[in-house]
Chains A and B, each alone.
Chain A
Amino acid sequence: MREMASSQARDTFPRLLLQHAQVRGDKPAMREKDLGIWQSWTWHDVAEEVRAIACGLAEMGFRRGENLAIVGENRPRMYMMMTAAQCLGGVPLPLYQDAVASEMLFVLLDAEVRFVFVEDQEQVDKVLEIQAELPQLEHLLYDDPRGMRHYTLPFIHDIRELMAMGRIHNRNHPDLLASEVAAGAADDVSVMLYTSGTTGRPKGVRLTHHAFISAARGGADFDGLTADEDILSYLPMAWVGDHLFSFAQAMVTGFTINCPESAETVMTDLREIGPTYYFAPPRVFENLLTQVMIRMEDASVVKQKMFHFFMAVARRSGAEILDGQPVSLGDRLLYALGNIFVFGPLKNVLGMSRIRVAYTAGAAIGPDLFRFYRSIGINLKQLYGQTETCAYVCLQPDGQIRFDSVGKPAPGVEVKIADNGEILVKGPMLLKEYYKRPDATAEAIDADGYFMTGDAGLFDDDGHLKIIDRAKDVGKLANGAMYAPNYIENKLKFFQYIKEAVVFGDRREMVCAFINIDIGAVGNWAERRGIAYSGYTDLAAKPEVYGLIQDCIEQVNGELVGEGALADSQIHRFLILHKELDPDDDELTRTRKVRRAFVAEKYAPLIDALYGGRSSQFIETAVKFEDGRQGKVAADLVIGDPKTFAIARRAA
């Protein structure tokens, strides 16, 4: 009840910090490994250091509302600096520490930064490299004094100097900090994060205390996080995910963040800390799995046998046991044995023995990868969100985990699907504005206050959101049903036999597909069946191969029919191309993305044949060989008619 009463006072991060210093002053707030030993800062220590830094900043003339750039790896002082700037009503602006100087320049200029706080000599050198182009830069602070002895420029300061100055300032003006914190409001901007510039120049996303605290509290309540969690903070501080998990949630719940010794020691540090709450992008999980598999190759025969036997058990029943679904008694017993001999030790090696909740986000995770971690008993879940929404839109509830959806709207978040399939979200966690870009802000938030994510998605029958495509790629079939080409193509490409797929259907009455078989996988399949072939074109035309691909397509159709709005996107006709799509022929980009419009134009006769109801079509295509010679490939292509499934129309 007392908690409820004081919730009024816990609406900004500095107030949260002061409260933790009172309630759990002697519990560890941060740890960092230094000289081989984990050093701790209690909440009380953190509050005192933040006070010293903030007073030092005040002494140097840091102003309310001003941006303060932070560049470095995850270290306790870097996080403290964020709160210190917030205490004075300033806005911390974390930058990616691996950005080169010229990339930093745009952001530092755009945000008119006067104060920069960096980790070490390397980052100091980067700032000095672009110093001439930063007329407004006044103070450059650094954390690690190593190698800094010869830097005598007057505007470069050790953070310790600043803190010493701050302590004196605090003695002379003991009420300053309290009054500055009291002057802060929940609607003030608490942090500015720049979105990566894949689409145009980077934009500064301004998020308020209220937004991040709502997102952090919502997520913490959703997963029942307590002040006893441990988290390893190793992802870039400039990424919204780290700010939510390592900063905002730690501040809201009072758990401990742990900073690794260096980027190379993360694996060891993970084992030593044994976090209870963990967040990583899919590629980290993938790397870990690859390492495990490589090490298993070197293990003794007995261990290998044991590993593979119990992993088969886990694949069969592990995820179901985790979800609390019924599993046969025999499998339960085997799984318990496996836990003793394989899964337990494996989790220990991975540093995942204590994990209660783990999240992944940022990219699509492969079903096998996802299932592997869940099957050995790690509660890995997905979430969906972006910088503009504090990475807080959808979360997967315990026990309702699918690899192909991102869960249900998080508490306090409203999600709706626009007519064009775009996901719109509304809630307390939305951005306040893009920095100095009212045009972009107006474009991103509609009249009803919904943020337009730019992703297209739909809700499945259980109310789980499924992300299917970028909204700008999504079209409509002739009957008005949504059509998401990348989504269908990705489904096809999950099959090892299909290397590339190009689907057509925008403003047409049905969906048809071009397929490229994977010559390695299909060739292997053919050899095992004694099917002789001379090359790609020959293999692609074999009736058996058509049968194989048709099976794959029918499986995809079977999945699509269960996906509501996408049921109309079942593939009605397909053909296997007589040549592989190739960047040399301009059919793919250099990063191997299909250039759909170009392919459609080049193979117009084939598309006509697909939609014209013909059963085969002759085509001759020019190809470039690697040595620059030109040649021609010709074939009489057969068109396959896979089975489609009747759509059960719900009464409107």
Chain B
Amino acid sequence: MSRQIGEVILDLKKVSLAFGGVKALTDISFDVREHEIRAIIGPNGAGKSSMLNVINGVYRPQEGEIILRGQRFARMNPYKAAKAGISRTFQNIALFKGMNVIDNLMTGRNLKIRTNLIQQAFWWGPARREELAHRAKVEEVIDFLEIQHIRKTPVGRLPYGLQKRVDLGRALAMEPSILLLDEPMAGMNVEEKQDMCRFILDVNDQFGTTIVLIEHDMAVVMDISDRVVVLDYGRKIGDGDPDEVRANPEVISAYLGASH
């Protein structure tokens, strides 16, 4: 591998999140380095998705702070996160089912569009030039994910595995520097999983994108990630490279369900 894992790009410090009396995350700290693939694992209800939602500002933690490229955010919000180059996919695909693949991917370019509504309505001059440039970018994503044959198919008509790929495509269309993937392989068959793994590795390798992913399939996580953080009941119980985590007795007991 030629990619070089760099400095810490995203640092979470003592993050705690509670919904009323329910403590979703308690005092969690971990960091993400540039260009690495960082996995978050844990049993159901461990707080993995909450963690992602904290990172891209959907949830606001009661305590702790997020440091992104040296900049402190006590309060992240989704707009700021997106502006800062963080994009994500969703566990239950959140695409526009009635729109075709191209249009769905174009929504990923939304933040980068400079012309205003009226210019776009007339599709004239700068608006036209801009859309052509964005469309070219979208076509690159289509080529990268090998979905040329479904370019004009409404997303709702696609099989689940392909919808997941389109979801990833939309996130890639933002040209993110950090990509958050929420269970990218849930509900897929073995072949689809293999494809998805290859795409994730390719994204990381070719664009140098930093990837934070949540995944249940242990084999996948151990294979593709550089470092793994393990959550259980909202607490961090392990952090390190896959081999370390695999040998961690706390992790083993959380996963095998031994008594605490």
Residues of A participating in the B interface, judged by any CB pair closer than 8 Å: 34-37, 147, 149-150, 261-262, 264-265, 268
CB neighbours of B14 from chain A (8 A): none
Q: Which of B140, B148, B206 contacts A264 (CB 8 A)?
A: B148
Name the CB-closest residue of A to B152.
A268
CB distance from B196 to the nearest CB of A (A): 16
Q: Determine if B142 and A36 form an interchain contact, defined as CB atoms under 8 angstroms apart.
A: yes
CB neighbours of B140 from chain A (8 A): 35
CB distance from B134 to the nearest CB of A (A): 13
Question: How far is A268 from B149 in the complex, measured between Cα atoms in Å?
Answer: 8
Q: Which of B2, B148, B206 contacts A265 (CB 8 A)?
A: B148
A149-B148 contact, Cβ under 8 Å, with A35-B139, A35-B143, A36-B139: no
Q: Determine if B202 and A147 form an interchain contact, defined as CB atoms under 8 angstroms apart.
A: yes
Question: How far is A27 from B202 in the complex, measured between Cα atoms in Å?
Answer: 38
Name the CB-closest residue of A to B147.
A264
Task: Say if the beta carbon of B136 comes within 8 Å of chain A.
Answer: yes
* Other A-B pairs beyond A147-B202, A264-B148, A265-B149, 15, CB < 8 Å: A35-B139, A35-B140, A35-B142, A35-B143, A36-B135, A36-B139, A36-B148, A36-B151, A149-B2, A149-B205, A149-B206, A150-B1, A261-B148, A262-B146, A262-B149
CB neighbours of B2 from chain A (8 A): 149-150
CB neighbours of A261 from chain B (8 A): 148
26 residue pairs of the A-B complex, CB under 8 angstroms, read: A34-B143, A35-B136, A35-B139, A35-B140, A35-B142, A35-B143, A36-B135, A36-B139, A36-B142, A36-B148, A36-B151, A37-B139, A147-B202, A149-B2, A149-B205, A149-B206, A150-B1, A150-B2, A261-B148, A262-B146, A262-B148, A262-B149, A264-B148, A264-B149, A265-B149, A268-B149
- Chain A CB count within 10 A is highest, among B1, B136, B143, for B143
CB neighbours of B205 from chain A (8 A): 149
Shortest 5 CB-CB contacts between residues of A and residues of B: A264-B149, A35-B139, A36-B139, A265-B149, A261-B148
- Chain B CB count within 10 A is highest, among A35, A147, A149, A261, for A35
- Chain B CB count within 10 A is highest, among A36, A262, A265, for A36
Question: How far is A150 from B139 in the complex, measured between Cα atoms in Å?
Answer: 24
CB neighbours of A264 from chain B (8 A): 148-149
CB neighbours of B136 from chain A (8 A): 35
CB neighbours of A147 from chain B (8 A): 202
CB distance from A266 to the nearest CB of B (A): 9
CB neighbours of B149 from chain A (8 A): 262, 264-265, 268
Dominant secondary structure at the A interface = loop
Name the CB-closest residue of B to A267.
B149
Residues of B participating in the A interface, judged by any CB pair closer than 8 Å: 1-2, 135-136, 139-140, 142-143, 146, 148-149, 151, 202, 205-206
Question: How far is A275 from B112 in the complex, measured between Cα atoms in Å?
Answer: 39
- Chain A CB count within 10 A is highest, among B135, B136, B146, B149, for B149
Question: How far is A15 from B10 in the complex, measured between Cα atoms in Å?
Answer: 62
Name the CB-closest residue of B to A266.
B149
Question: How far is A268 from B101 in the complex, measured between Cα atoms in Å?
Answer: 15
Question: How far is A147 from B135 in the complex, measured between Cα atoms in Å?
Answer: 23
CB neighbours of A36 from chain B (8 A): 135, 139, 142, 148, 151
Name the CB-closest residue of B to A35.
B139
CB distance from A57 to the nearest CB of B (A): 29
CB distance from B116 to the nearest CB of A (A): 26
CB distance from B26 to the nearest CB of A (A): 42
CB neighbours of A268 from chain B (8 A): 149
Question: How far is A150 from B206 in the complex, measured between Cα atoms in Å?
Answer: 11
CB distance from A169 to the nearest CB of B (A): 30
Question: How far is A35 from B137 in the complex, measured between Cα atoms in Å?
Answer: 9
Question: How far is A36 from B100 in the complex, measured between Cα atoms in Å?
Answer: 15
CB neighbours of B202 from chain A (8 A): 147
Name the CB-closest residue of A to B151.
A36
Question: How far is A150 from B202 in the complex, measured between Cα atoms in Å?
Answer: 12
CB neighbours of A150 from chain B (8 A): 1-2
Question: How far is A397 from B203 in the complex, measured between Cα atoms in Å?
Answer: 55
Name the CB-closest residue of B to A261.
B148
CB distance from A267 to the nearest CB of B (A): 9
Question: How far is A520 from B206 in the complex, measured between Cα atoms in Å?
Answer: 58
Name the CB-closest residue of B to A34.
B143
CB distance from A145 to the nearest CB of B (A): 11
CB distance from A261 to the nearest CB of B (A): 5
CB distance from B214 to the nearest CB of A (A): 26
Question: How far is A35 from B146 in the complex, measured between Cα atoms in Å?
Answer: 11
CB neighbours of B139 from chain A (8 A): 35-37
CB neighbours of A37 from chain B (8 A): 139
Question: How far is A262 from B151 in the complex, measured between Cα atoms in Å?
Answer: 12
Question: How far is A359 from B142 in the complex, measured between Cα atoms in Å?
Answer: 34
Question: How far is A565 from B35 in the complex, measured between Cα atoms in Å?
Answer: 77
Question: How far is A638 from B198 in the complex, measured between Cα atoms in Å?
Answer: 66
Name the CB-closest residue of B to A268.
B149
CB distance from B28 to the nearest CB of A (A): 35
Name the CB-closest residue of B to A37.
B139
CB distance from B203 to the nearest CB of A (A): 12
CB distance from B140 to the nearest CB of A (A): 6
Name the CB-closest residue of A to B140.
A35
Name the CB-closest residue of B to A150.
B2
CB neighbours of B151 from chain A (8 A): 36
CB distance from B199 to the nearest CB of A (A): 11
Question: How far is A261 from B147 in the complex, measured between Cα atoms in Å?
Answer: 11
